């Protein structure tokens, strides 16, 4: 029987998370044939088939599913061992991946990253600003920002900030369709909203907070594209004020209708000793403290 190799377990986890051999090989920086040999070697050492090789990708067998938890536990132990070798006197090195909702990552964090780069020039930063939840246990990110506080898992969460959302329309749309003076008129207009089965958080169900009868005519999977559609005159939309306030082509409607949501900063319990995770998390908290008014500056209301 082939000798067990930890590198093969790392290869196994990479394929589990990527779903495809070529993608996992690219992430690991190795040739896909090398990765294939590692997976085959791990299967040989364990005497079990871990993946069903399919044209659509690699799917875990029952033996593979049982191995995932043990492999992730070994990975977490390795992360903690490496973390103890961090030397604050040498500054931060290595890479850090931050997963955020697209609006918060694009409109708030991205403009702040030059400050982080100045403070820690040897640190490599990856910002993944996508409309989705990030799994820290699967190493999809080192730090995550979410609209929902996690209810399970070995995670630490701290409230970053609250923010306000309002109803917006393009000024050109209002000139064409008339101004809106009361809530009853909202049902007379087209709406832009989320694709219902792609709402990655229940906090995204804005329209039902306004009226149970509102249905979007145009459905888009992310808020940045929704704002572009509203700016283009597709209809009314609920937008975060910190996004919409900089768009001169938009006007806010019915300012008495205000929605509120929160952002949470999340780290994994296994990262508690990792210097770069702690420093970057503190950086994010500090930038929110300094720039937090951006989440509350209002937008001119339609006349």
Same domain, 100 and 167: no
Same domain, 134 and 172: no
Which of 83, 104, 134 finishes a domain? 83
CB 223 within 8 A of CB 130: no
In a domain, 228, yes or no: yes
DSSP 165-230: EEEEEEHHHHHHH----SGGGGGGS-EEEE-GGG-SSGGG--HHHH-TT---SEEESSHHHHHHHH
In a domain, 110, yes or no: yes
Output the six-digit token pair for 153: 């898992």
What backbone phi and psi angles, to 5 degrees, belong to 154?
-85, 70
pTM of the predicted model as reported, rounded to 2 decimal places: 0.71
CB 11 within 8 A of CB 36: no
Same domain, 155 and 169: no
pLDDT in tens, the chain (303 residues): 556 677 788 888 888 888 888 888 887 888 888 998 889 889 988 889 999 988 778 888 999 888 888 887 787 777 666 655 555 544 567 889 999 999 999 999 999 999 999 999 989 999 999 988 888 877 789 999 999 998 877 899 999 999 999 999 999 999 999 999 999 999 999 999 999 988 988 899 999 999 999 999 999 999 999 999 999 999 999 999 999 988 999 999 999 999 999 999 999 887 877 888 989 999 999 999 998 777 765 555 555
Same domain, 198 and 235: yes
Is residue 56 classed as helix, strand or coil in its secondary structure?
A: coil
Same domain, 281 and 133: yes
pLDDT for 79:
64
Same domain, 37 and 73: yes
Which of 17, 48, 83 finishes a domain? 83
In a domain, 170, yes or no: yes
Nearest in space to 108 (alpha carbons), one of 221, 224, 206, 193: 224
Contacting residues for 271 by C-beta, under 8 A, at least 6 apart: 79, 83, 136, 142, 277, 278
The parent domain of residue 101 ranges over: 90-161+262-292
Helix count (H) and strand count (E) of the chain?
A: 11, 11
Same domain, 151 and 270: yes
CATH of residue 184 = 3.40.190.10
Number of domains in the chain: 3
């Amino acid at each position: 029987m082939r000798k067990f190799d930890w590198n093969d377990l790392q290869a196994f986890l990479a394929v589990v998370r990527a779903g495809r051999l070529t993608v996992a090989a690219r992430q690991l920086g190795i040739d896909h044939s090398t990765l294939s040999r590692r997976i085959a070697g791990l299967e040989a050492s364990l005497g079990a088939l871990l993946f069903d090789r399919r044209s659509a990708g690699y799917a875990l067998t029952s033996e593979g599913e049982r191995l995932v938890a043990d492999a992730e536990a070994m990975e977490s132990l390795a992360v903690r061992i490496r973390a103890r070798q961090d030397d604050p006197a040498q500054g931060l090195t290595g890479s850090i991946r931050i997963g955020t909702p697209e609006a918060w990552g694009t409109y708030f964090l991205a403009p702040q990253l030059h400050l982080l780069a100045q403070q820690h020039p040897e640190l490599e930063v990856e910002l993944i600003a996508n409309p989705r939840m990030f799994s820290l246990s699967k190493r999809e990110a080192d730090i995550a920002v979410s609209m929902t506080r996690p209810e399970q898992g070995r995670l630490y969460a701290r409230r970053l900030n609250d923010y306000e959302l309002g109803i917006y329309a393009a000024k050109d749309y209002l000139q064409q369709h008339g101004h809106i003076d009361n809530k009853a008129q909202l049902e007379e207009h087209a709406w832009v909203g989320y694709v219902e089965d792609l709402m990655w958080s229940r906090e995204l169900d804005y329209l039902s907070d306004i009226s149970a009868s509102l249905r979007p005519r145009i459905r888009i999977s992310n808020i940045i594209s929704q704002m572009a559609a509203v700016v283009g005159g597709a209809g009314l939309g609920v937008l975060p004020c910190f996004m919409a306030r900089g768009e001169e082509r938009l006007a806010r409607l019915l300012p008495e209708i205000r929605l509120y949501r929160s952002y949470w900063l999340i780290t994994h319990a296994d990262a508690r000793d990792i210097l770069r995770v702690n420093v970057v998390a503190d950086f994010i908290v500090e930038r929110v403290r300094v720039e937090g008014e951006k989440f509350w500056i209002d937008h001119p209301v339609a006349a």
